[in-house]
Amino acid sequence: MEAIKEQRYHINVGTLCGQVRKRHPWGDAKAIKEEIDKRLAEILGPKTEADNIKPVKKKKEKPAKVEEKKVAVATAAPPSEEELNPYTIFPQPEENFKVHTEIFFSDGNIWRAHNTKEILEKHLKATGGKVMTRFPPEPNGYLHIGHAKAMFIDFGLAKERNGHCYLRFDDTNPEAEKKEYIDHIQEIVHWMGWEPYKVTYTSDYFQALYEHAVELIQKGLAYVDHQTAEEIKEYREKKMDSPWRGRPIEESLKLFEDMRRGLIAEGAATLRMKQDMQNENKNMSDLIAYRIKFTPHPHAGDKWCVYPSYDYAHCMVDSLENITHSLCTLEFDIRRPSYYWLLVALGLYQPYVWEYSRLNISNTVMSKRKLNRLVTEKWVDGWDDPRLLTLAGLRRRGVSSTAINSFIRGIGITRSDNSLIRVDRLEYHIREELNKTAPRTMVVLRPLKVVITNLEEGKVLDLDGKMWPDASDTDASSHYKVPFSRTVYIEKTDFRLKDSKDYYGLAPGKSVMLRYAFPIKCTDVISGDSPDDIVEIRAEYDPLKTSKLKGVLHWIAEPAPGVEPLKVEVRLFEKLFMSENPAELEDWLGDLNPHSKEVIKDAYAVPSLATAVLGDKFQFERLGYFAVDTDSTPEKLVFNRTVTLRDSFGKAGPK
């Protein structure tokens, strides 16, 4: 209270919310924030002009060096409990008897969703008190980095609590699912480092779901409707009941059975839950439970021609699988009343629902609809195009699952707003890992020929290049061989006709150091049809290395006289979209970056790279981190740039 009165509206509300959440893990974060804001207003009154002024941080005077160390130790804030373990915010299964959600009806009635003692005891007996979660993707596309966050939460919570996580395919739409997607999802989940407790399908429960639908009709809580999709939309907007809402229970039972037997045409009838058409929440407006589709199911075959909707099946299967924590993104928050309405109506066990912020990353799109357009209309080269933030695309680009999980852990699993995360933050985690794991080597992307005139014809020196910056000179396993001969190649961008103080490359009359080799000095320039068309550089090398030079260049030499260096293909990738948030644009396809991919067919590499295989990753000195691509053949290797080096790397040369 003293801090509140002293700091007034500058108090850290997030800290206050965190304190409340520790005591009330079941509390709705939004409601807690609103209540705290209300209490602060009661205590402090209206905001003053001073409250609206951002406080200026005072510059601290530098204490003596000895004192500085003491202050640093004394004021170093330890990581919070949630930073050390992000899963502490979730309650234990045995606590799942409290009210989850209040379901408000337009007539003033309120349902307070919670498990009875008997239902909870039955659930705990079935699970042994273990945490049970599920990762429920729909098999209608490839998984993207947003799914990596869902996996981190679903599988991660189960692992942290020594529980189990299902991989459940939400296959309620037989027209969208493909075996290709099912196989991909199972494989990518494993690649991400997670092991499912069981692999299940919503279609495994079709019989139980159908029986519960019959039970709903018998209770007068569902009815067969004949409105078209347009009529349903119109009636919902006008908050009007369907003409068939009051039809007799026996009539709906018979019609639903006719639907199941295929006696009613597709689109001529649906089964709708009798919820509350006058409710302010449109997700309580008699949602569709079943629709007719004369389409064989990839998993269930041709047994069914009625299929449950997501809104009907999702909560039911959560209950049937005894899920303790049903975790989903915030856009499902408004569906929570409908989720619990169905479980309360049928007297079923109710999982604990918790919504977290959706992962939005800059300069890309992550909706499956937009990703599908990019792929099917060939704006990109398939679901695993390295420019996409699909998990297959990231893997092909050279990103590891550990780097992705590290990124996810870093952004947290809170219910904060769906703010846009800059892609640079992901690249930071990728770079941090590759800096420790990717051996160094040299590749020249756009070769410019340099002839060392004072090195005798036919002579080749075998020099040692370091795979690791701190490698010992005596450790042969940490080095690779670099041939140095009369003909070497440097990057075209590392030569200029006019020198300047802030330029560390090669220029006429200027010397630079060749990495792991010798200083060279430009003595002559051979041009083509125009002075700017540089064909060849003549230079002399300093075998005694007497020069101390700032400029250090990477290079490639002919491995033997007249033998061309190893040729490789290198693909450079930039952001796929030019805008930070292309999803907000009406013409989002018009925002595609025309320079997002550059293919360099004839780059030169050191001979040791010839043995690289799929899965190998390297730092090409001064260029970035690269990975072997799936298009590689024994005749020619292909490398994808995973991520660039830090910007500060350009001037100082390789490190």
Which domain CATH number covers 562? 2.40.240.10
**Which amino acid, residue 451?**
V
Q: What percent of the chain shows pLDDT beyond 90? A: 74
The HSE-up count of residue 351 (CA atoms within 13 Å, CB side) is 27
Q: What is the mean pLDDT of the chain?
A: 90
Question: What are the tens digits of pLDDT across the range 111-151?
Answer: 999 999 999 999 999 999 999 999 999 999 999 999 999 99
What whole-number distance in Å separates Cα of residue 33 and Cα of residue 14?
Answer: 8
Average of per-residue pLDDT across 251-278: 97
Would 78 be classed as within a structural domain?
A: no
Average of per-residue pLDDT across 90-98: 91
The pair of three-digit structure tokens given for residue 411, joined into one six-digit string: 């952004």
Give the distance, in angstroms, between the CA of residue 564 and the centroid of all CA atoms in the same chain: 42
Identify the pLDDT of residue 649.
29
Beta bridge partners of 589: none
Contacts of 108 (CB under 8 A, 6+ apart): none
State phi, psi for 341 to the nearest 5 degrees. Answer: -55, -45
pLDDT at 653 > cutoff 50: no
Q: pTM of the predicted model, to two decimals?
A: 0.83
Higher pLDDT, 79 or 404: 404
Identify the pLDDT of residue 138.
92
What whole-number distance in Å separates Cα of residue 343 and Cα of residue 273?
Answer: 12
Number of domains in the chain: 3
Contacts of 49 (CB under 8 A, 6+ apart): none
Would 222 be classed as within a structural domain?
A: yes
Contacts of 158 (CB under 8 A, 6+ apart): 131, 132, 133, 164, 165, 197
Domain that holds residue 33: 1-52
Would 490 be classed as within a structural domain?
A: yes
What whole-number distance in Å separates Cα of residue 144 and Cα of residue 387?
Answer: 12
Question: What are the tens digits of pLDDT across the range 530-577?
Answer: 878 899 999 999 999 988 888 999 999 999 999 999 999 999 999 999
Instruction: Give the domain-ending residue among 311, 328, 363.
Output: 311
Identify the pLDDT of residue 63.
46
Instruction: Give the domain-ending residue among 311, 328, 352.
Output: 311
DSSP string, 109-146: -EEEE---HHHHHHHHHHHTT--EEEE---SSS--BHH
pLDDT band at 178 (very low <50, low <70, confident <90, very high): confident
Identify the pLDDT of residue 54.
66
Identify the pLDDT of residue 64.
43
Identify the pLDDT of residue 397.
97
Question: What are the tens digits of pLDDT across the range 37-76?
Answer: 888 888 888 888 777 776 655 444 444 444 443 444 444 4
Q: What is the DSSP letter of 623?
A: T
Would 598 be classed as within a structural domain?
A: no
Would 586 be classed as within a structural domain?
A: no
Of 444, 493, 469, 425, the closest CA to residue 643 belongs to: 425
Would 545 be classed as within a structural domain?
A: yes
Would 224 be classed as within a structural domain?
A: yes
**Which amino acid, residue 199?**
V
Identify the pLDDT of residue 86.
84
Identify the pLDDT of residue 14.
74
Question: What are the tens digits of pLDDT across the range 582-619?
Answer: 999 999 999 999 999 999 999 999 999 999 999 999 99
Instruction: Please give the C-alpha separations between residue 416 and each of 85, 127, 271, 357, in angstroms, as whole numbers.
Output: 18, 31, 36, 6
pLDDT band at 476 (very low <50, low <70, confident <90, very high): confident
Catalytic residues: 138, 358, 368
Instruction: Give the domain-ending residue among 311, 335, 362.
Output: 311
Average of per-residue pLDDT across 625-647: 93
Which domain CATH number covers 235? 3.90.800.10
Identify the pLDDT of residue 648.
35
Would 511 be classed as within a structural domain?
A: yes
